[in-house]
Amino acid sequence: MSDLRLGIAGLGTVGVGVVKLVNDRQMAYNQMFGTTMSITAVSARTKGAERGVSLDGYAWFDDARELAKSPDIDVFVELIGGDEGIAKEAVINALEAGKHVVTANKALIAKHGVMLAKLAEANNVALMFEAAVAGGIPIIRVMSQSVVANEITHLAGIMNGTCNYILTTMEKEGRDFADVLADAQAKGYAEADPTFDVGGIDTAHKLAILTSLAFGTEVNFDSIYIEGIEKITAADIRNADAMGYRIKLLGMALKTETGIEQRVHPALVSKSSPIAAVDDVNNAVYIESKMLDGIMLEGKGAGEGPTASSVVGDILQILRGFIEPAFIMPTEKLKPYEKARMNRHEGGYYIALSVKDKVGALAAISERMAEASISIDSLIQQKAESDEGVIPVTLLTAETSEREIQDVLKKMDADGFLAAESRVIRIEKFS
């Protein structure tokens, strides 16, 4: 390939990391591939901001949409973020102008990936987004190249470092969610508005992309069932620990008889499983296939270094001439997404109940479980909370269905013995 000229839009943490990495390794890249790669233009919200890196010699564009169309670039690197507005318009401009696009924007790909991939195919250019999922973990390359010969049946992952840090700290220090979240915000691990992270939306964006790659379907973010970690308590984590589990926020996708099931929610995972050992801000992605059984990749899921490394890795793929369909196969071959029925999900469940301290309450709860043929594997009953007359009871069930759990909880609530909404956490098994 001839010389490759880069235009970078967005000079936040990742954008600055890309500038540093290209500058530091530019000579090595040129020697490795026998051609040159260089940054020629940049764009950001504020030109004069102190970024800790020199922008001398780069053309400046106030508007990323104009940079995307510039005849002086070959690759448009979009690091602005967001699924609408300037980021989307600039990427469309670049593809229509025949520019390759590299992005770390998971929201954009989760919402508009198929449309953008069709546009890339029509203009014979690349759309690459390794950095959009799990930071420095090369999961997209592994799925598109290393395990592409296999039929993937199940994937799951810890895909948000903020949530993993909060849950890890809650466990280590015995503190509640709100307290640890405030610390995470003070340390810069969580945003001032943490909704996208702790509410599971960030994980869902990444899951939507991986689901398409795994099962050859069109990306469908809107079909994902999403729960965050806001309701997880220190007591839940202590009880899970006593029962041999840890709590993680997981994004999961699997094939079922009724379609593809996509879920994001907290889950109990056995302490003996590899994914249970993934702590702090680290990410991990687990893939199960018929020939490989289960494999897991772990590493840093965010930050300047890991994410910039994935961005530049995509650029180098373009430099080497590896131009492939964005979702492994041409968009015309992607199957329509068929959503599985969530109530058919089967597995064990952790149920935290606040039971009124009344005669017959516990017997009534046991009777309801028996009526539904739901076996109880473990039970933790704590002392009544004197101020409120409430007994905290934690149940661990054998395998049952989502529908049966929801039905029995409705009946328990109607009986009038529960003092608060029950907390239900699914148990997930890994080979």
Quote the pLDDT of residue 327. 95
Q: How many CB atoms lie within 10 A of CB 381?
A: 13
Q: Compute the Cα dihedral for 245, 234, 279, 251 and give only its sign.
A: positive
Same fold, 139-299 and 346-428: no
pTM reported for the whole predicted model = 0.92
Instruction: Compute the radius of gyration of the chain from its Cα atoms.
Output: 24
- CATH number belonging to domain 139-299: 3.30.360.10
Q: Which CATH number fits domain 4-132: 3.30.1330.10, 3.40.190.10, 3.30.1540.10, 3.40.50.720?
A: 3.40.50.720
Confidence of residue 358 (pLDDT cuts 50, 70, 90): confident
pLDDT at 405 over 80: yes
Q: What is the pLDDT of residues 20-49, one digit of tens each?
A: 999 999 888 888 888 888 999 999 999 988
Name residue 148's amino acid.
V
Q: Is the pLDDT of residue 386 over 80?
A: no
Please tell me the CATH superfamily of domain 346-428, with its number: ACT domain (3.30.70.260)
Determine the pLDDT at residue 192: 85
**CA dihedral over 323, 255, 342, 294, signed as positive or negative:** negative
Lowest mean pLDDT among 98-102, 115-119, 192-196: 192-196
Alpha helices in 53-154 (DSSP H): 64-69, 85-96, 106-122, 139-141
Residue 183 tokens, joined: 């610390």
- Please state the domain extents for the chain: 4-132, 139-299, 346-428
Which positions are catalytic? 206
pLDDT digits (tens, 9 = 90+) for 128-153: 999 999 888 999 999 998 888 889 99
Range among 96-100, 379-383, 414-418 rated most confident: 96-100
What does pLDDT average to over the chain?
91
